[in-house]
Amino acid sequence: MTRFHLIITAALCAAVFAGCSTAPDADFSGQWAEKSAERIVAVFAPDGAGGYRVQAGWRETGLAQYEAWDMTAAGKGGRLAYSDGRLARLSFPYEDDTEYTEEVVYSDGSGSFRINRAGELEWTDNSDGSKTTFIRTDLNRDDAAIIAPELYPRVLELCRYIPDHSLLPEAAGYMTADFFKALSDAFDKPDADDGTIDDKEWLYMLVTGNGGSLPYWSVESVHRSDRDHATAVVGVRDIWEEGDEPSGELRIHSMDLVREDGRWLISDFDSAKKACLDLLR
């Protein structure tokens, strides 16, 4: 074999081995929207273990039903797989309501995600055999029922200022002015003379019920209805001694949020604003 043939052979071998090398991991993180009509929105957040927490949602304008998927996906290269998919249907009495009933369709769904050569995200859902293509999108614009996991840390911060037998003065910096005023005025209203608990007792027991414990908060979900309004579903359990694990039944609450001057604030909690105004009347 001549030197020329050796060089050509070496070059061909290098090309073959280069083509067989492991493809670099693709970056799935960020926000994606269904390519055809942008009805389904998906958010990929790194889970710290090399995979992604994936949340996807679909709500057709004019329909009082919302479908939400949640799963953990992991893999290598340009492909991820999951086997813990959860699909829930949220039914709203009215189109713009934040109150809803939830039906879990399944909690063991499987499927996969891949990024194709065009940079598009392809989702194969094994539960119904559907395949959906997504494109990267900017969700910092008006969009219905956007899943917003990026707000979880802020929601947990805001939970510390929910009244539990007392309204912290510093809570004024974490609530809209009208909500804080309604709570403050309700707390300042004199107790009823007849000894009943139907005045302010509900206000003192917004969270942990009988006192003596510390609330342990968790964020179940956060959805944005537009760029400046969101609703969070939060759960709370009790901690009875410092260092203890939370105990007791998970109690679910609803928190409404408004963004003012770039900061997310509590605008209502379990419809407490209306209850306070009714009490003051």
Q: What is the pLDDT of residues 51-109, one digit of tens each?
A: 999 988 876 545 567 788 999 999 987 899 999 999 988 776 654 455 667 889 999 99
| Residue 40: CB atoms within 10 Å | 19
pLDDT in the model for residue 13: 40
- Helix, strand, coil tally for the chain in percent (to 5): 20, 40, 35
Domain boundaries, the chain: 30-139, 152-280
CATH 2.40.128 fits 30-139, yes or no: yes
Q: What is the pLDDT of residues 181-220, one digit of tens each?
A: 999 988 888 766 544 445 556 666 555 555 577 888 888 7
Q: Is the pTM of this model over 0.75?
A: no
pLDDT in the model for residue 203: 64
Of 64-68, 86-90, 111-115, 163-167, which one has max mean pLDDT?
A: 111-115
Distance CA 236, CA 252 (A): 7
One CATH from 1.10.10, 3.10.450, 1.10.1200, 3.30.70 for 152-280? 3.10.450
Q: Vertex 172, ends 166 and 177: CA angle to 5°?
A: 120
Quick check: do 30-139 and 152-280 share a fold?
no
